[in-house]
Structure 1
Amino acid sequence: MMTELVVFGQDEMKHYLRLFAEAIKLGLRFNLLIEGPPGTAKTLAVNQMIASLKADIGNVPYVRVTGSHDALPCDLIGDLDIGKYREGEMDILSGPLFRAHGSSIPGIVYADELNRFSEYTLIIFTEIMAEWQVSFPKTPLTKPLRANVIATMNPYDISGITDVPQHILDRFNARIVVNYPDKETELRIIAQHADYYYKNLAPRLKKLHSPLISTTRAMRKLGVHLGPRIYLSTLDLLALELSSNGPVNHETVIWHYENAIRSRIGNLDEDKQSEFLSTASIALRGELTGQKR
């Protein structure tokens, strides 16, 4: 088993992550937004930066939150302590974001899939980025939260996405758009995934790498931002089939690929979903059949 996954390419993202880490070391305010389709190693790169930073300077206050449209401000920053309020006092039961509060250096708030939060909840991050504090709704209370924000964001045509207002985007010092990898890099990504998670099965999965990648690249040209996560999820399902002695034939590959896509296109109407899945099935079947010639 490989000791660590590698982020292939993405030099601009890596460079700005180094700048983010340097800002933490110097105690400076610096907020970074990274945008790209699922599966382009955004989270992996962030996690590796944080691990490297902790190795350099020791403990860094840190918390990760993942976007959800149902999340309310109180889920992140806490709420009024009702017990004390009944006794005539006003105090706050702190939420998870306060674990990122730093004293000698800023902590780190990692907001994964930022644009899955509602606009109402996104306002919290604006105040943290601008003032290193949070205000509690419907109270006069504020509380310091000295932390820099690093956020990842998926393209807007992915199901369940909020259009992040410009006044929130303005608070980031830099916004990096992750380039979609070329086919050669994608082949390295899928091979690494198979070797890392399914070492014993990797040789049997290898013949599926190119058909899955070629089909995904072709489907992107239809305007839906599919990414590496589609074929990596498909590979996971096929590895489970092999592990349980299930069949892995063309129909099984197509079936799992369709279901991996279906989870990403829920924002399309049913007719478009059906058309898209049909096209994907035909394209993948062609890639699999052509491979045997």
Structure 2
Amino acid sequence: MDARDGDRELKVVLEGQYKTAYELLEDAVAVGLTPIVIGPPGVGKSLLVRKFARDTGRAFHEVFFDELLRPSYLIGTFNPAIVLQRGYCAEAFEKGPLITTMEEGGVFLAQELNRASEFCQNSLLEPLEERSYYIPRIGRVHADERFVFIATANPAELAGTHRFSEALRDRLRVWIPLTYPDRETELKIIRVNCEPLTLAEDVLEKIYNVVEMARKEKELEMSVSIRAGIAIARLSARHLSKHGSIGNDDIAAYARSVILGAARGKKWLDLEKTLDDVIRGAMRAYG
């Protein structure tokens, strides 16, 4: 299955933790339980949900939650111009993505749900528990039987996250953890997402070493995602197709450009030096 990543498509590799997570996602939905996928940014949480939506033939809608998001965006609002002309009628109500997905019987993905305020979190209780929502002046909207609500969340230690309200936590029944994949799986993910271009195994190993060491570097506040490895590999493969060869300096230059935008340093002025040290160390470690 493919999921959009800019102008290219990312291929999902259903192996290891991803196979386990996908099967648990299927099982949760099949028995009517609400799943939430937990993990750091860039481990493939949303890709897994998109794959599920496509595999089951459901429409897919997603909303990125933050503390500024209000329930009215999810549910919908009345169009003032139509209200003036026709009053508070169904035609005057402009449905939000949650109500739209409920009626379509699609998959609604609540991205980074633990960044939402408690006020916004609590607006989801009725759709999750009753599979319906009461809209004043319109009446109760009932979800299609195929409607699925799935959430993702980042680890609590990341900045900008909130605790889930007890009421919402009680309705998120199945918790599916994801972390960075093992070496073999991540290398396969990078490899298949370079196609139709190819890279030698030693080049892929060097790219993985850079990504892995960047994740372990304490001076970098944000872990480097799988997408970073894919981006470095794509640039390296492009270089190889143009020039016929690629050296360590070329790989290092691409890695520096990609990771510079993907990670933050505790001291911004030292970030470039930290990255250079990480990349040199990764190259030396590979030999």
TM-score (norm 2): 0.74
Q: Which residues of structure 2 form unaligned runs of 5+?
A: 3-10
Describe the shift of the 1:176–1:82 C-alpha distance in structure 2 as closer, same or farther (beyond 3 A).
same
Q: In 2, Cα distance between the equivalents of 1:50 and 1:99?
A: 15
Deviations 1:49-85 (A, max 9, x none): 223323xxxxx4x332141546443333221131343
Q: In 2, Cα distance between the equivalents of 1:36 and 1:175?
A: 10
2:23 alignment partner, SS class:
helix
Tell me which residue corresponds to 2:102: 101
2:36 to 33, 46, 49: 33
Contact 2:118 2:165 (C-alpha < 8 Å) held by counterparts: no
1:219 alignment partner, SS class:
helix
1:203 to 191, 199, 202: 199
CA deviation after TM superposition for structure 1 residue 33, in Å: 0.3
Q: Pick which of 65-74 and 244-253 moved more.
A: 244-253
Describe the shift of the 1:171–1:184 C-alpha distance in structure 2 as closer, same or farther (beyond 3 A).
same
1:8 alignment partner, SS class:
coil
Tell me which residue corresponds to 2:62: 65
1:130 counterpart = 2:129: yes
Tell me which residue corresponds to 2:49: 46
CA deviation after TM superposition for structure 1 residue 186, in Å: 1.9
2:15 alignment partner, SS class:
coil
Contact 2:156 2:163 (C-alpha < 8 Å) held by counterparts: no
Tell me which residue corresponds to 1:166: 165
Q: In 1, Cα distance between the equivalents of 2:84 and 2:233?
A: 55
1:90 to 88, 103, 114: 88
1:284 counterpart = 2:287: no
Q: In 2, Cα distance between the equivalents of 1:143 and 1:7?
A: 39
Describe the shift of the 1:221–1:289 C-alpha distance in structure 2 as closer, same or farther (beyond 3 A).
closer
Aligned residues: 267
Tell me which residue corresponds to 2:24: 16
Describe the shift of the 1:289–1:148 C-alpha distance in structure 2 as closer, same or farther (beyond 3 A).
same
Q: In 1, Cα distance between the equivalents of 2:70 and 2:225?
A: 29
1:34 alignment partner, SS class:
strand
Q: Which residues of structure 1 form unaligned runs of 5+?
A: 55-59
CA deviation after TM superposition for structure 1 residue 13, in Å: 0.8
Q: In 2, Cα distance between the equivalents of 1:47 and 1:34?
A: 12
Q: In 2, Cα distance between the equivalents of 1:121 and 1:253?
A: 44
CA deviation after TM superposition for structure 1 residue 19, in Å: 0.9
Contact 1:7 1:44 (C-alpha < 8 Å) held by counterparts: no
CA deviation after TM superposition for structure 1 residue 278, in Å: 2.8
Q: In 2, Cα distance between the equivalents of 1:37 and 1:264?
A: 13
Contact 2:38 2:177 (C-alpha < 8 Å) held by counterparts: yes
CA deviation after TM superposition for structure 1 residue 274, in Å: 4.5
Q: Could you tell me which amino acid in structure 1 is paired with residue 154 of structure 2?
A: N
Tell me which residue corresponds to 2:5: none
Q: Percent identity?
A: 22
Contact 2:223 2:263 (C-alpha < 8 Å) held by counterparts: no
1:253 to 240, 247, 251: 251
Tell me which residue corresponds to 1:238: 236
Q: Pick which of 80-89 and 170-179 moved more.
A: 80-89
Q: In 1, Cα distance between the equivalents of 2:127 and 2:183?
A: 39
Q: Could you tell me which amino acid in structure 1 is paired with residue 199 of structure 2?
A: P
Q: In 2, Cα distance between the equivalents of 1:130 and 1:230?
A: 38
Note the aligned Cα RMSD (angstroms): 3.5
Q: Could you tell me which amino acid in structure 2 is paired with residue 203 of structure 1?
A: L
Q: In 2, Cα distance between the equivalents of 1:121 and 1:46?
A: 22
Tell me which residue corresponds to 1:57: none
CA deviation after TM superposition for structure 1 residue 116, in Å: 5.0
1:194 alignment partner, SS class:
coil
Contact 2:210 2:255 (C-alpha < 8 Å) held by counterparts: no
Contact 2:256 2:279 (C-alpha < 8 Å) held by counterparts: no
Q: In 1, Cα distance between the equivalents of 2:248 and 2:115?
A: 35
Q: Could you tell me which amino acid in structure 2 is paired with residue 95 of structure 1?
A: G
